[in-house]
Structure 1
């Protein structure tokens, strides 16, 4: 029979010391993983100015006009905006009287702001006028009857308080060049956080679309 040798207490001590040294060495890696998980940046939220089927309460959707036998051909040109606003992030006031602006990095437009504004205006105008936007639809072979150009002079907000805008617009009847021009000025409450600001901006776009639609109707008479 073979005899198994049992290590003496004195020979086991170095092994125990080695194991005790190895365990703490693994702790920093675990702590580092926990810290990295806790410090991970949240994903940004993306916003659009277009009206959806779930239009929020208090927002007036564009009244739809019945389809016409002959569509009203319009062209909604790209919207001009100040360069300071032409950012992926929402630009708001800093909440002080300094006149400074700040970017909200976690709140971004789903498309460049000029495109957001153009698409939202086009959506509203097509619904209000029963029209077809040749620019949006890519109808290069169709001559529009009315060309609509807009320029944002001011678009700003104090988060949780108010939002305002000044938008200049022009409607030109292409066959004879007759023009109707105007300015939409709006100041609205924007309660809550960024969602409230975007909801107010949508209402401002709807107000501008209503004014522009009235300009088109004036030229049609």
Structure 2
């Protein structure tokens, strides 16, 4: 009887181990918000004032191939697997915490508000406030080789309201990205910061 009970316990433990080994690993989520892996909360809405610098940071346009929950990187292997488009690879276990256009828009807005001391009417949902500057952004290229480098080409436009005067520019960057996926995301955050700095300079040019 004791031997039968012992055998039953051993079999149960072995089955549990097999099931644990077969469990799918959980994906890890990343954000482009400022700070190590933390999603920054929006700043509290400011009361309307003649001194307030009101911005409207519009949703960022990205190529459809990048508009995925997973991070999309270059495929350095010979041939692609079933989860890859031509020349790219989807990292199923590395995902954005929100859709990539939202990640980019929110990160740009966060940095622009901090740099310029401004308030983003789009982020704050202030539909009754007329922004002084409307910012539009389009990602032409955002790619990376995991553990090696990351790069981007981003077009942006700042339009002053109500006269419609425009300043446009392009931010291009190629950065080292060591440290697997964490390094890629860190490089992307630096690219967002560079883009925000360029846009802020555009806003300041229109304020003169």
After TM superposition, the score normalised by the length of structure 2 is 0.84
Q: Distance in 2 between matches of 1:97 and 1:71?
A: 54
Q: 1:44 aligns with which of 27, 48, 51?
A: 27
Partner of 1:79: 60
SS in 1 for 2:173: strand
The Cα offsets for residues 21-52 of structure 1, whole Å up to 9 and x where unpaired, read as: 88767765543221011121221111110102
Q: Distance in 2 between matches of 1:151 and 1:197?
A: 20
Residue 164 of structure 2 is aligned to residue 177 of structure 1: yes
Q: Tell me how many residue pairs correspond in the alignment.
A: 191
Q: CA deviation at 1:174?
A: 1.5
Q: CA deviation at 1:100?
A: 1.1
Q: Distance in 1 between matches of 2:120 and 2:193?
A: 17
Q: 1:88 aligns with which of 54, 59, 69?
A: 69
After TM superposition, the score normalised by the length of structure 1 is 0.80
Partner of 1:7: none
Residue 139 of structure 2 is aligned to residue 152 of structure 1: yes
Q: Distance in 1 between matches of 2:65 and 2:98?
A: 16
Q: Distance in 2 between matches of 1:109 and 1:205?
A: 15
Partner of 1:120: 107
Q: Distance in 2 between matches of 1:138 and 1:27?
A: 60
Instruction: Rate the CA distance shift 1:90–1:31 in 2: closer, same or farther, 3 A.
Output: same
Q: CA deviation at 1:70?
A: 1.2
Q: 1:167 aligns with which of 154, 179, 193?
A: 154
Structure 2: runs of 5+ lacking an equivalent: 38-48, 80-85
Instruction: Rate the CA distance shift 1:97–1:181 in 2: closer, same or farther, 3 A.
Output: farther
Residue 128 of structure 2 is aligned to residue 141 of structure 1: yes
Q: CA deviation at 1:172?
A: 0.5
Aligned-residue Cα RMSD (Å) equals 2.2
The Cα offsets for residues 118-167 of structure 1, whole Å up to 9 and x where unpaired, read as: 00000110111111000001111100010000000000000000000000
Could you say which structure has the larger radius of gyration? Answer: 1
